[in-house]
Amino acid sequence: MATKSALTPTRCGSLELRWGERTYVMGIINLSPDSFSGDGLGANIEAAVAQAKCFVADGADIIDVGGESTRPGTEPKTIDDVEGELQLVIPVIERLASEISAPISIDSYKPKVALQALKAGAKMINDIWGLKKSPLLAQIADEAGVPIILMSNQRDAPVQDIMPTIISDLERAIALVRQNGVPEHNIIIDPGIGFGKTLEQNLEMMRRLAELKVLRKPILLGSSRKSVIGLVLNLPADQRIEGTAATIAIGIANGADMVRVHDVEEMVRVCRMSDAIIRRR
Cite the active site residues: 226, 260
Identify each DSSP E strand in the chain by its residue range: 10-12, 15-17, 24-30, 62-66, 104-107, 124-127, 148-151, 187-190, 220-221, 258-261
Query: Please, what sign has the CA dihedral across residues 207, 71, 146, 15?
Result: negative
Residues 92 and 186: their CA atoms lie apart, in Å, by: 24
Q: Residue 44 class from Cβ within 10 Å (0-12 exposed, 13-18 middle, 19+ buried)?
A: middle
Residue 53, strand partner residues: none
Closest listed residue to residue 78, CA positions, set 35, 129, 122, 123? 129
The SS3 call for residue 201 is helix
Residues 110 and 34: their CA atoms lie apart, in Å, by: 19
Closest listed residue to residue 60, CA positions, set 224, 188, 280, 215? 224
